[in-house]
Structure 1
Amino acid sequence: VMKATEAKLLDFLKKSPQFVIPIYQRTYSWTEKEVRQLWDDILRAGQNDDISAHFMGSVVYVEKGLYSISAQSPLLVIDGQQRLTTVSLLIAALASAIGEGEPIEGFSPRKLRNYYLLNPEEEGERHFKLILSQTDKASLISILKDAPQPKEHSIRITENLKLFQELLVGQKEDLETVCKGIAKLMVVDISLDRDQDNPHSFSRV
């Protein structure tokens, strides 16, 4: 009924067509403290060849399509939205910070956007890998489109993006370490069987 596998976060993002945050979940809420903690973990892993992986916890989801006719069925995220959103903000900021070039294999701005943030061949909402709820949704989409923020925007999303941009400026002589650290992030990928498990019985973290 429940499948749990360890996965590199980047591989997991790359293969997943789309994550959708259900409307009943609380909105994105990570504070500066949590963002800085993740940043420190990424730098520590990136600087140290003895650290092979940094576990970020689990991502729990249900396939949204009742019948999986297409492989493009969105995944309904039951747990893990805070981590997925924060990493998406970091990748968006990193793609801009790199500008041109490829600090390490696979980390060119184009690859970062097209593997982990966007579905380049899709249109409309399907173009985006992560669909948040409420004001978070419009704010993240504006960032990914490089468009101005809507009047009703998400403070946490915009502030955490700004924080990553500032941290990356401080690290601009060594973006390779950031890339290496992100490549070491691991999650436990937990998929629930839609018919067997009621997602409402899971904690709404």
Structure 2
Amino acid sequence: MDAGKKILLDLLTGSLRFVVPVYQRRYSWGETQCRQLWADIVTAGRHPDRTHFTGSIVWMQEGGIGPDGVSRCLLIDGQQRLTSVTLLLIALAEYAHEHPENLRFSTDMIIDRGYLVDKYATGEGRCKLTLSGDDRDVLRGMCDHVLALDRPNHGNQAGTTSRLEANLDLFRSLVAAIDDVNTVWNGLQRLEVVSVTLDQG
């Protein structure tokens, strides 16, 4: 086992791809938890001298690095937090596409840093976070849409509502209402977690 403090967004860069095992519960955070995460991020963004600790991410590498250069990691704990941050990143990418002026970030930056997808990859290794069950396709569609924001979004093809869609809409409204969106971007850079890597077996 290896454990250490990391900036949460740093876990989403590079070759790591997080996969939620089928035995894990589905994404279930509601408005209360998302608003608390938002408040923590905004507070961190308004205080550049400090970071904000937001819990642990526990994962285990599933074998070595594959021929596609992807290292698949089973996400044992931290799914709710990582998924919610992913939804917020999608909301920020959409906002930056519509309002590019006076921002310290851009849609291209979010894509190029690989926080959501590896734009050069295909198949399962494309998304940085793969959920289980029906949530898998919903989140994948949301992330893929960020790569093609000029095209119409056909949304959830299954026709069902999900926590993912409800929370993305919440983050969209919060991003649109804040006086300076750069505060949110700054706060995201200061979210700290304890990253715990488990050994197989």
TM-score with structure 1 setting the length: 0.86
1:201 is aligned to none
Return the offset for 1:109: 0.9
Instruction: Letter of the 2:115 partner, please give it.
Output: Y
1:157 is aligned to 164
Instruction: Letter of the 1:188 partner, please give it.
Output: V
Find 1:191's aligned residue among 185, 189, 197: 197
The equivalences for 1:55-204 within 5 A come to 55-65=53-63, 67-68=64-65, 71-99=69-97, 100=100, 103-104=103-104, 107-114=105-112, 115-146=114-145, 147=153, 148-153=155-160, 155-171=162-178, 173-195=179-201
Q: Is the 8 A contact 2:45 2:190 kept in 1?
A: yes
Classify the secondary structure of the residue corresponding to 2:60.
strand
Could you list the per-position Cα deviations for residues 63-112 of structure 1 after superposition, in whole angstroms to 9, with x for gaps in the alignment?
012x44655221100001001100000001001111235722xx221121
Q: 1:102 to 1:194 in 2, by over 3 A?
A: farther
Instruction: Letter of the 1:73 partner, please give it.
Output: S
Q: Distance in 2 between matches of 1:69 and 1:109?
A: 28
Q: Distance in 2 between matches of 1:101 and 1:123?
A: 32
Unaligned runs of 5+ in 1: 196-205
Unaligned runs of 5+ in 2: 146-152
Q: Is the 8 A contact 1:8 1:186 kept in 2?
A: yes
Return the offset for 1:153: 4.1
Aligned length: 189
When you count helix as a share of all residues, which structure comes out higher?
Answer: 1
Return the offset for 1:16: 4.5
Instruction: Letter of the 1:136 partner, please give it.
Output: D
Q: Distance in 2 between matches of 1:60 and 1:154?
A: 28
- The CA RMSD measured in Å over matched residues stands at 1.6
Q: 1:125 to 1:68 in 2, by over 3 A?
A: closer
Q: 1:69 to 1:140 in 2, by over 3 A?
A: closer
Report percent identity of matched pairs. 40
